[in-house]
Amino acid sequence: MASAAAAVALFAACTQQKPVVELTESGLNPEQFVDTVGGIPMKLITLKNANGMEVCITNFGGRVVSIMAPDRNGNKKDVVLGFDNVKTYEDKVNHPSDFGASIGRYANRINQGKININGEEIQLPQNNFGHCLHGGPDGWQYRPYEIVEANQQTVLLKLVSPDGDMNFPGEVTAVVIYTLADDNTLDICYEATTTKTTIINMTNHSYFNLNGNPDEAITNHELYVNADNYTPVDSTFMTTGAITPVEGTPMDFRTPHAVGQDITNFDFEQIKNGNGFDHNWCLNTNGDDKQVAASIYSPTTGIFMEVFTDEPGIQVYSGNFLDGTQSGKGGYIYTQHAAICLETQKYPDTPNKSNLPGWPNAILEPGQTYTSHCAYKFSVK
* Segment 136-175, tens digit of pLDDT: 999 999 999 999 999 999 999 999 999 999 999 999 999 9
Rg for the chain (alpha carbons), in Å? 22
275: left (phi over 0), alpha (psi -120 to 50) or beta: left
The mean pLDDT of the chain is 95
Domains detected in the chain: 30-380 (2.70.98.10)
pLDDT of 1 reads: 44
DSSP secondary structure letters along 62-111? TEEEEEEEE-TTS-EEE-B---SSHHHHH-TTTS---TTEEE-SB-SEEG
* Distance of alpha carbon 176 from the chain centroid: 12
pLDDT of 4 reads: 53
pLDDT of 20 reads: 77
Catalytic residues: 205, 343
pLDDT of 72 reads: 97
* Segment 238-293, tens digit of pLDDT: 999 999 999 999 999 999 999 999 999 999 999 999 999 999 999 999 999 999 99
Per the model's pLDDT, the better-predicted residue between 38 and 21 turns out to be: 38
182-192 as b/e: b if 16+ CB within 10 A: eebbbbbebbb
Is there a contact between 71 and 83 (Cβ–Cβ < 8 Å)? no
